[in-house]
Amino acid sequence: MEVVIVTGPAAGGSLVGEAIESFLRQRPDAVLGLATGSSPRSVYQDIVARHRAGRMSFAKARAFQLDEYVGLPADHLETYRAVIEREVTSQLDFARDAVRGPNGTSPDLPAACATYEREIAAAGGVDLQLLGIGSDGHIGFNEPVSSLASRTRLKTLTEQTRRDNARFFGDVLEAVPRHVLTQGIGTILEARHLILLAWGAGKATAVARCVEGPLTAMVPASALQLHPHATIIVDEAAAGALTLGEYYRATWEAKPDWQGL
Ligand code: GLP
């Protein structure tokens, strides 16, 4: 696991944007994993700017969402499909149907989950997966005690996550769906590079438990410890509870340029 402590979301966004640009140069048909939430927003702003400047094209690339709400009408503005389209993909040049998500409106949710797993596999798996982290240590919508081997499936949100997400539903807790479909932890771990972003003191405990705590289903993000190429990008506040902060800083400063992220 590599921990990179940056000055803030803009610096983190440009670091990841640069990594995506160089990856797309080698692999124009890259498969990206897109997360919702505020944490990856600066990455999206950065890649949209690079795209507008003519430095990167997604015309041959594909993308998979991490998760989706169940029970929202298909035209609801807060489905993750709508959020990803509004904030990211509508501003890039992805081909039609190149951006996929689990179907939270399917009458047969287990079948929709199995279909989604097959779509990811048929695309050759995810090359680079962006992740945020929930205040309870969840990734995607894998709440605490999710199986570390889980695949895409139906999950029930904790009260805490529904409260955290109520801001997207006019601060009305009852408006936040109880159920979601999410890539499982086993699914996420198959992506070839994981990049988790976290900003602010509110994420400090979750980040410390993810990076330095025991591997446990109680902290789904701790499963990143099992991944051979996981990058954790945080600001000073989100790094605040880490024990080895000085080591991470020194390691980053001494990192050979050729290694990239
Ligand atoms: C939701 C999403 C997660 C995201 C988390 C944190 O629960 N399903 O993918 O990581 O929110 O959101 P934020 O980045 O806004 O803090």
Alpha helix (H) residue ranges in 95-233: 109-122, 159-165, 185-189, 204-212
132 lines ligand 1 (CB under 6 A): yes
Ligand 1, atom 10: closest residue by C-alpha: 132
Q: How far is the CA of 258 from the centre of ligand 1 (A)?
A: 32
Nearest to 132 by CA among 201, 35, 228, 44: 35
In this prediction the pTM is 0.97
Let me know: does 184 contact 151? Beta carbons within 8 Å.
yes
185 lines ligand 1 (CB under 6 A): no
Task: Please indicate whether residue 227 is annotated as part of the active site.
Answer: no
Let me know: does 210 contact 176? Beta carbons within 8 Å.
no
Task: Please indicate whether residue 136 is annotated as part of the active site.
Answer: yes
Let me know: does 155 contact 179? Beta carbons within 8 Å.
yes
Residue 57's identity, in one-letter code, is: S
45 lines ligand 1 (CB under 6 A): no
**pLDDT at residue 54, as a whole number:** 97
Ligand 1, atom 6: closest residue by C-alpha: 134
Taking CA atoms, 122 is separated from 31, 80, 110, 119, in Å, by 11, 22, 18, 5
Let me know: does 207 contact 235? Beta carbons within 8 Å.
no
Cα separation, 86 vs 73, whole angstroms = 17
Question: Ligand 1 pocket test: which of 36, 88, 146 has the largest number of ligand atoms within 8 Å of its C-beta?
Answer: 36
Beta strands in the chain, from DSSP E residues, in sequence order: 2-6, 31-34, 62-65, 67-69, 99-100, 128-131, 153-156, 179-182, 193-198, 230-235
Q: Could you say which of 46, 51, 67, 235 is catalytic?
A: 67
Helix (H, G, I), strand (E, B) or coil at 257: helix
Please state the φ and ψ torsions of residue 125, each to the nearest 5 degrees: 85, 170
Q: What is the tens place of the pLDDT at every residue in 156-208?
A: 999 999 999 999 999 999 999 999 999 999 999 999 999 999 999 999 999 99
**pLDDT at residue 115, as a whole number:** 98
| Low pLDDT (below 70) residues in the chain | none
According to DSSP, the residues that pair with 180 across neighbouring strands are: 69, 155
**pLDDT at residue 33, as a whole number:** 98
**pLDDT at residue 41, as a whole number:** 97
b/e burial code for range 204-240 (CB count within 10 A of at least 16 → b): bbbbbbbbebeeebebbbbbbeebeebbbbbbebbbb
Query: How much is the mean pLDDT over the chain?
Result: 97
Cα separation, 182 vs 68, whole angstroms = 6
Beta strands in 27-96, from DSSP E residues, in sequence order: 31-34, 62-65, 67-69
Task: Please indicate whether residue 2 is annotated as part of the active site.
Answer: no
Question: Ligand 1 pocket test: which of 72, 161, 164 has the largest number of ligand atoms within 8 Å of its C-beta?
Answer: 164
Cα separation, 109 vs 146, whole angstroms = 18
Task: Please indicate whether residue 164 is annotated as part of the active site.
Answer: no
